[in-house]
Homo-oligomer: A and B are copies of this chain.
């Protein structure tokens, strides 16, 4: 697979694909902010509310950095995000936690799989964008926080484990289905991700293997909590 360089930014097809990727990622961070802040309302204590609020504000800072990159590429962040708002909103609607433990699992399993996905596809972009993506995808301790809280909660309640295992399966199913639909529905994005003969992007075998890796990582995360995936 050929590597993208800064010179490729002059190529319209790459630019459009890159903007699409940044658009869906930026909108994901924005709505991630909104939903984590909303889910903080489920937190049992002011301490947990503060932790989640801190996670949310980091997502907003990530959104801001991505919006700046979109602007630096000469595009409007809102127009760039527009094609993806429905799919991202849909994912959150289908994955709305009903209590604090489900909210924690959404951070632990849902945010992790989204981060894994974007980290994989950051290999397909130019070095400066890749650097930015890796920085905004860096875990800021929330996965560890959620894991600790989940372990405690599961240890204290026998039936919680099987409910959360079910919820985790739903999260991964929705996430993979939305990710594939978003890519399939957007030619620019698909052009960036999957090799159409240009020598850039993943071939379809790599594309599928990537989803296998995402699923394996999810399974390992669930097992780390003593849950079956």
Per-residue B-contact encoding for A26-53, CB less than 8 Å = 1, 0 else: 0100100110011011000111011001
Interface positions of A from 51 to 69, Cβ below 8 Å from B:
53-54, 56-57, 60-61, 63, 67
B47 touches A78 (CB 8 A): yes
- Closest residue of chain B to A31, judged by CB? B49
A81 at the interface (CB under 8 A from B): yes
- Which residue on chain B has the smallest CB distance to residue A45? B78
Q: Does A129 contact B (CB under 8 A)?
A: no
The complex places the Cα of A53 from the Cα of B57 at a distance, in Å, of: 9
Give the interface of A toward B (CB within 8 A).
27, 30, 33-34, 37-38, 40-41, 45-47, 49-50, 53-54, 56-57, 60-61, 63, 67, 77-78, 81-82, 85
The complex is assembled from copies of this chain, and their number is 2
Q: Which residues of B contact A60 (CB under 8 A)?
A: 53-54, 56-57
Verify A33–B53 contact, CB threshold 8 A. Answer: yes
Closest CB pairs A-B (n = 4): A37-B37, A57-B57, A38-B38, A46-B78
Q: Which of A47, A50, A81 has the most CB of B within 10 A?
A: A50
Nearest B residue to A50 via CB reads B30
Residue in B38, B47, B49, B56 whose CB lies within 8 Å of A41: B38
The interface residues of chain B lying within 8 Å CB-to-CB of A61 are 57
